[in-house]
């Protein structure tokens, strides 16, 4: 207290600690970028592993005679699949390239990719190298890893059917709840309903999965007959996914509806419109972009939802459009095959990255689209 | 723009339509509530009820009461074990630890497990059990003449304190609850400091007109929308595989050879969930910081405080309740997450508790998933009991969050 003003040093000092703290805070912010890069890097790396991994297909074309390490012509039996020139083949552990292929003889370059030319006895099968092509991956309608068939369509198809059913439930229900909350309900009713919606939104997805399997599926089977509805089916999973995303649709839509200025409603009332006419013909169109954003985010959530489909939609890819049949979605497949003891050096391990990448890209596009729409819609009323 | 005239002069019809519309909206809201009720009903209905149980030796024939089994006189328990265990089994039990040295609880468990050997034949949910008790008893007598009909509370204290077991009547969720708590602690320890730091940077330091700050913000919003299973794949690739020496504890020499979980540890799971909730923690913390009035910052600056002093001494304490509420809600999300843990490699069947970050682990949601996926109906009852446990835990943690928010609001009003 005895200090006089002149004894206080008011000169600026360098504050190294301030700078250091700012750098640390920035680093925490940058970590999120790192997470995104990590996701993209690992998914792409794993997917590359999936598409470059050699799958050895049995040609059923065994060696016709013993082969010595120095031979460059392999005598083969005529039966089995044809081997094209330039193809990579494997006999026992040795990898070779076919230079000329005839009916009963193959001229080969031996000991490729670090393998050593070795002697092979007659009767050993020849394996032809095959890879999962992008074309096969995106257009194949069968996903059978044991048979080397990797067409993602059955998984994508099931994902979209489940999501479509979910949106058929969530869109009308969520929108109606949102209109009720923002246009009709008194603040007191709102105070009761919003926590209830939050509870519904906070229930873990695995509990919803339990609900789908032990409540909705039996209900569907009783209503439509057990011959029509399988024990595991996409309809039950889709309905419950719809229930799961309903609170999300409702709360995002409500925000959008509340953002519509009061003056619009008052103008409608002044013209003699009823409450319903105001809500449906004035407020909903005015909030349309916000509602669209909510809808898109909900689709993205439904596509990425895992536990409900893993429990209720069934195990095993199935290319079907019948919602009452069992079919595995992308997420369901990832969970099922990684649930067991997954060997790191298997095509199954690599395949979850390829599926994961497709899933990531679909949800990324949807989320970005929704954010764009929200950004544009904010501009309108601010 | 062309304006379509849409005037309907029939007022009575328009008002009728308006009333119908309101009823429709109310009904939709009601459907939401009914679904919530159905969900809770379904779980509670399956967590309690009648069960047909068959014993190798019925408790009544030995003069035992199952409810008070551990309180049975010690001599009686020893005598039962003496007479009903095969000599070979008794010898091997004595070799592990002499029976006379075991506690009453352990003896009672042995009697139940080795002598009585209860087996659940069938179960009924709560509501039919209450409404049609007589029919069920009659049905059991017809189908399984030896079986006993008993009321079973699948969710009970033994269920909460026992480890996992393949026998439904002895199975519990202690291991899973402890695993979930470990996960939440590790998740909080990573996501809370990093998330709050990132939020402080974005709200207090970042200039919004710089491209890289906008990029960080957009990126965080996008991360919040990435499906949780993708985080599982990331965790599998990075924490379980790439950082295996670290996450398995091998670097620290913490784990004895042979019991290592190969990176599929509770640490890997917790870090994965940490990344998963990080964007949610950041977004919630940003909102809390934004709610702090600017006048507070300006007053502190006017007194000559540095930027960090303003943040640390004035902004953060004011935003803390909001940050805590947001973080607890994010951790609740972590508590209920299943898919990423399955991918990261949570164990499906372990009976020992996780004791350090490098333990194998299971978690409550994993347990629910496993039990639900099993075909035998008894496990559905266990899944219901575990679901109820999980919901109660979530209710508790959300209750704490709401309480913190409420108290902070009251303090501000004073």
Does residue A37 belong to any structural domain of this protein?
no
**Which of A26-30, A197-201, B386-390 comes out lowest in average pLDDT?**
A197-201
With beta carbons under 8 A apart, name residues in chain A contacting B241. Answer: 344
Q: Which residues contact A177 (CB under 8 A, 6 or more apart)?
A: A197, A246, A250, A254, B25, B28, B29, B32
| B392, pLDDT greater than 80 | yes
Task: Verify that A353 and A238 share a domain, yes or no.
Answer: yes
Instruction: Report the percentage of chain B scoring pLDDT > 90.
Output: 43
Q: Which residues contact B276 (CB under 8 A, 6 or more apart)?
A: B228, B231, B333, B334, B337, B340
**Tell me, which fold does domain B174-413 have in CATH?**
MetI-like fold (1.10.3720)
- Are A206 and B345 inside 8 Å of each other by CB? no
> Taking a contact as any Cβ pair under 8 Å apart, which residues of chain A between 272 and 301 contact chain B?
274-277, 279-281, 297, 300-301
Nearest CB neighbour to A304, from listed B193, B229, B307:
B229
Q: Is A176 on the interface with B (CB under 8 A)?
A: yes
Minimum Cα–Cα distance from A14: chain B residue: B306
Minimum Cα–Cα distance from B232: chain A residue: A335
| B2, pLDDT greater than 60 | no
Minimum Cα–Cα distance from B347: chain A residue: A339
Task: Verify that A207 and A257 share a domain, yes or no.
Answer: yes
Residues A231-268 pLDDT 10s: 999 999 999 999 999 999 999 999 999 989 999 999 99
With beta carbons under 8 A apart, name residues in chain B contacting A363. Answer: 225-227, 230
**Which of A25-29, A274-278, B102-106, B204-208 comes out lowest in average pLDDT?**
B102-106
Residues B321-361 pLDDT 10s: 899 989 999 999 999 999 999 999 877 777 778 888 888 88
Minimum Cα–Cα distance from A39: chain B residue: B234
* C-alpha separations of B48 from A239, B38, B156, B387 in Å: 26, 16, 10, 13
Does residue A312 belong to any structural domain of this protein?
yes
- In this prediction, residue B113 carries a pLDDT of 77
* C-alpha separations of A368 from A360, A361, A365, B187 in Å: 12, 10, 5, 27
Task: Verify that A330 and A209 share a domain, yes or no.
Answer: yes
**Mean pLDDT score across all residues of chain A:** 88
Instruction: Report the percentage of chain A scoring pLDDT > 70.
Output: 96
Residues A109-148 pLDDT 10s: 887 787 888 888 888 888 888 888 888 889 888 888 877 7
Kindly report the CATH number assigned to the domain that includes residue A86: 2.40.10
Task: Verify that A177 and A109 share a domain, yes or no.
Answer: no
Does residue A125 belong to any structural domain of this protein?
yes
Count of domains in chain A?
2
Task: Verify that A106 and A204 share a domain, yes or no.
Answer: no
| B67, pLDDT greater than 90 | no
Does residue A228 belong to any structural domain of this protein?
yes
Q: What distance in Å separates the CA atoms of residue A271 and residue B3, rounded to the nearest whole number? A: 15
When pLDDT is averaged across residues B163-169 and rounded to a whole number, the result is 80
- In this prediction, residue A264 carries a pLDDT of 92
Nearest CB neighbour to B205, from listed A22, A45, A200:
A22
Q: What distance in Å separates the CA atoms of residue B215 and residue A296, rounded to the nearest whole number? A: 22
Containing structural domain, residue A214: 147-381
Instruction: Report the percentage of chain B scoring pLDDT > 70.
Output: 95
When pLDDT is averaged across residues A328-352 and rounded to a whole number, the result is 86
- In this prediction, residue B256 carries a pLDDT of 56
Task: Verify that A228 and A297 share a domain, yes or no.
Answer: yes
| B62, pLDDT greater than 80 | no
Q: Which residues of B208-220 are buried (b: 16+ CB within 10 A; e: fewer)?
A: eeeeebeebbebb
Measured torsion, CA atoms of residues B298, B304, B305, B310, in degrees rounded to the nearest 10: 0
| B120, pLDDT greater than 70 | yes
- Are A277 and B232 inside 8 Å of each other by CB? no
Q: What distance in Å separates the CA atoms of residue A95 and residue A90, rounded to the nearest whole number? A: 4
Q: Boundaries of CATH 1.10.3720.10 in chain B? A: 174-413
Q: How far does the CA of residue A177 sit from the closest CA of chain B (Å)?
A: 5
- Are B307 and A18 inside 8 Å of each other by CB? yes
Does residue A198 belong to any structural domain of this protein?
yes
When pLDDT is averaged across residues A321-340 and rounded to a whole number, the result is 90
Overall size of chain A counted in residues = 382
Closest of B19, B32, B34, B31 to residue A184, by C-alpha: B19
Task: Verify that A188 and A328 share a domain, yes or no.
Answer: yes
| A219, pLDDT greater than 50 | yes
Does residue A175 belong to any structural domain of this protein?
yes
Kindly report the CATH number assigned to the domain that includes residue A283: 1.10.3720.10
Among positive and negative, which fits the CA dihedral A60, A65, A71, A75? negative
ipTM of the complex: 0.88
Does residue A274 belong to any structural domain of this protein?
yes
Most confident of A194-203, A238-247, B80-89: A238-247
> Taking a contact as any Cβ pair under 8 Å apart, which residues of chain A between 36 and 55 contact chain B?
36, 38-39, 42-43, 45-46
- Are B372 and A46 inside 8 Å of each other by CB? no
- In this prediction, residue B1 carries a pLDDT of 43
Residues A15-24 pLDDT 10s: 788 889 999 9
């Amino acid at each position: 207290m005895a200090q006089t003003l002149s004894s206080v040093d008011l000169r600026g000092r360098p504050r190294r600690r301030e700078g250091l703290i700012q750098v640390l805070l920035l680093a925490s912010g940058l970590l999120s970028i790192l997470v995104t890069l990590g996701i993209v890097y690992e998914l792409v790396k794993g997917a590359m592993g999936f598409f470059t991994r050699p799958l050895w297909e049995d040609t059923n074309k065994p060696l016709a005679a013993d082969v010595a390490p120095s031979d460059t012509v392999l005598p083969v039996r005529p039966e089995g699949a044809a081997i094209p020139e330039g193809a990579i083949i494997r006999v026992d552990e040795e990898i070779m390239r076919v230079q000329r292929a005839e009916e009963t003889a193959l001229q080969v370059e031996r000991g490729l990719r670090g393998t050593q030319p070795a002697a092979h006895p007659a009767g050993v099968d020849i394996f032809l190298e095959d890879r999962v092509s992008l074309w096969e991956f995106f257009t194949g309608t069968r996903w059978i890893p044991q048979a080397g068939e990797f067409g993602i369509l059955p998984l994508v198809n099931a994902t979209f059917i489940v999501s479509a059913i979910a949106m058929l439930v969530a869109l009308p229900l969520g929108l109606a709840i949102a209109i009720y909350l923002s246009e009709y309900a008194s603040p007191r009713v709102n105070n009761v309903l919003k926590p209830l919606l939050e509870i519904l939104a906070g229930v873990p997805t695995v509990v919803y999965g339990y609900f789908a399997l032990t409540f909705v599926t039996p209900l569907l089977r009783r209503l439509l007959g057990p011959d029509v509805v399988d024990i595991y089916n996409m309809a039950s999973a889709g309905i419950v996914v719809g229930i799961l995303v309903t609170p999300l649709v409702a709360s995002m839509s409500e925000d959008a509806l509340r953002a519509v200025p009061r003056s619009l409603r008052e103008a409608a009332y002044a013209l003699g419109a009823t409450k319903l006419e105001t809500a449906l013909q004035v407020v909903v169109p005015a909030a349309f972009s916000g509602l669209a954003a909510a809808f898109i985010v909900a689709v993205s959530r439904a596509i990425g939802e895992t536990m409900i489909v893993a429990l209720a939609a069934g195990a095993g890819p199935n290319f079907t459009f019948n919602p009452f049949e069992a079919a595995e979605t992308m997420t369901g497949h990832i969970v099922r095959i990684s649930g067991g003891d997954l060997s790191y050096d298997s095509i199954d391990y690599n395949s979850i990255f390829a599926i994961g990448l497709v899933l990531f890209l679909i949800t990324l596009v949807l989320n970005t689209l929704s954010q764009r729409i929200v950004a544009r819609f904010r501009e309108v009323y601010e | 723009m062309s304006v379509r005239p849409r005037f309907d002069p029939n007022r009575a019809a328009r008002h009728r339509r308006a009333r119908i519309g309101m009823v429709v909206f109310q009904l939709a809201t009601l459907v939401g509530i009914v679904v919530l009720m159905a969900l809770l009903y379904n779980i509670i209905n399956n967590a309690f009820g009648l069960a047909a149980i068959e014993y190798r030796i019925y408790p009544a024939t030995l003069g035992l009461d199952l409810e008070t089994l551990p309180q049975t006189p010690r001599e009686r328990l020893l005598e039962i074990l003496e007479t009903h265990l095969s000599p070979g089994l008794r010898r091997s039990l004595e070799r592990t630890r002499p029976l006379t040295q075991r506690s009453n609880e352990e003896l009672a468990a042995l009697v139940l497990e080795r002598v009585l050997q209860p087996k659940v034949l069938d179960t009924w949910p709560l509501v039919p059990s209450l409404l049609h008790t007589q029919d069920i008893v009659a049905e059991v007598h017809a189908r399984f003449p030896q079986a006993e009909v008993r009321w079973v509370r699948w969710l009970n204290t033994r269920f909460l304190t026992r480890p996992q077991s393949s026998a439904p009547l002895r199975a519990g969720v202690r291991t899973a609850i402890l695993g979930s708590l470990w996960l939440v602690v590790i998740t909080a320890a990573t996501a809370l400091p990093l998330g709050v730091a990132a939020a402080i940077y974005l709200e207090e330091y970042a200039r919004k007109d710089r491209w890289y700050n906008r990029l960080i913000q957009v990126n965080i919003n996008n991360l919040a929308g990435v499906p949780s299973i993708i985080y599982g794949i990331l965790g599998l690739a990075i924490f379980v595989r790439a950082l295996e020496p670290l996450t398995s504890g091998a670097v620290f020499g913490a784990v004895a050879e042979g019991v290592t979980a190969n990176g599929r540890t509770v640490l890997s799971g917790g870090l994965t969930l940490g990344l998963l909730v990080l964007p949610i923690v950041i977004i919630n913390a940003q909102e809390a910081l934004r709610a702090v009035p600017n006048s507070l910052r300006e007053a502190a600056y006017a007194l000559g405080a540095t930027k960090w002093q303003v943040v640390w001494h004035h902004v953060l304490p004011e935003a803390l309740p909001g940050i805590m509420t947001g973080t607890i809600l994010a951790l609740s999300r972590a508590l209920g997450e299943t898919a990423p843990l399955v991918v990261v490699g949570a164990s499906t069947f372990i009976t020992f508790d996780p004791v350090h970050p490098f333990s194998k682990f299971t978690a409550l949601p994993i347990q629910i998933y496993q039990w639900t996926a099993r075909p035998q109906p008894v496990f559905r009852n266990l899944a219901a009991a575990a679901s109820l446990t999980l919901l109660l835990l979530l209710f508790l943690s959300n209750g704490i969050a709401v309480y913190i928010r409420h108290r902070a609001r009251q303090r501000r009003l004073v």
